[in-house]
Amino acid sequence: MLYRYCPYELFVVAAGLFTIIPVSALSNPHCFAAPVLKNISDSIIRNAVLRWKTHSSIETQESEKTKSWREFENNFRLDFFLTLNGTSFINPSSAEQQQNLFMAYYQVSVNNRLKLSWMECQLYIWNEFGYRYTAKNKAEHVQDLLHIKMDLLSNTLGEIQWITTLQSKTQLHANYQMRDNAATEHFLHSAYYSPGYVLFNAGMSKQWPKLGKLELGLVGGEITRIRRQEIFTERQEPELYGLKAGEHQKLEYGMNIQFQQPLRPLSKQFYWENQSRLFSSHKNLSKPENYKLNIQNSFYFLTLKYVRLGLKTEVVYDPMISSKIFMSNLFLFGFHLYNKL
């Protein structure tokens, strides 16, 4: 590869000198041409090595630049676990929420991130499903959530990014509950997109390495859907979640503030996670009592290989559901097949 980096004239001169004077003369101290030939050969080698190193460095830098303009990251997690739990509620929506003893869960989460030179796309999918076994030897599913969120971010503002968000929240399976005045009568309480929520907004986002991400949706809205109309009859209510019987969906335009703190290790075994959201429709911007608020905190402590302690707290205020603030604390002692965070 020497010929690629050395000047052509040096090869001609070197070839001519080596042709006239034998190579063995280089080791002869009495040969007058030996020092000249040695200097020429050393110079050729030094130049060749220097050019090769420079060229390799340029190729490496160009290769790194070529790779840096696009990145793809995928994280998948599947977990099965059993928990003993205790709960405390403030202003529960039904007595059923206070009957907790033993739960069996599965959780699936998918996090995809595609980054281009000035744009980034993030896809988040979360699904969990849990059965609850109460002290009355009843089994029913109590935890059922499918959450899909897609963010499109632009880096044109530097540390502050433009963001467009589309997300959906619903349950997958029908949920039946017992009537308060009957021991065996069940009724349909909720089902797939009954209710369900679709949120969209465009605004700005700020990411901190250790403090999570804050999103400000300047333009956006929320769609509330009730797909199965029979829940009005089953629950004996003329209006649910801001919709009247016969209405399938309602659209509200407004502003949205959302904070996300992904799982963050506070110590080697202690983790914290937070999701908070504040939404107001445009017509209620001057009426804080009509804002919708949801704050969720999760704390996990990994003790043994398959054992985890947990605390989940939630604060919910939605004037379409209740005029009171709902609070819950869930204490967990669980056996996890995948006990890693």
Determine what percent of the chain is predicted with pLDDT higher than 90.
Answer: 34
Q: What is the per-residue pLDDT for 211?
A: 82
- 152 pLDDT band, cuts 50/70/90, is very high
Q: What is the pLDDT of residue 25?
A: 46
More confidently predicted of 1 and 189: 189
Q: Percent of the chain having pLDDT more than 70?
A: 72
pLDDT at 62: 52
pLDDT bin (cut points 50, 70, 90) of residue 139 is low
Closest-CA residue to 309 (of 287, 339, 279): 339
Mean pLDDT estimate for the chain = 79
* Most confidently modeled range among 5-14, 151-160, 307-316: 307-316
pLDDT tens, residue by residue, 257-308 = 999 998 889 998 999 999 999 999 988 888 999 999 999 999 999 988 889 9
Q: What is the pLDDT of residue 68?
A: 59
Give residue 46's pLDDT.
63
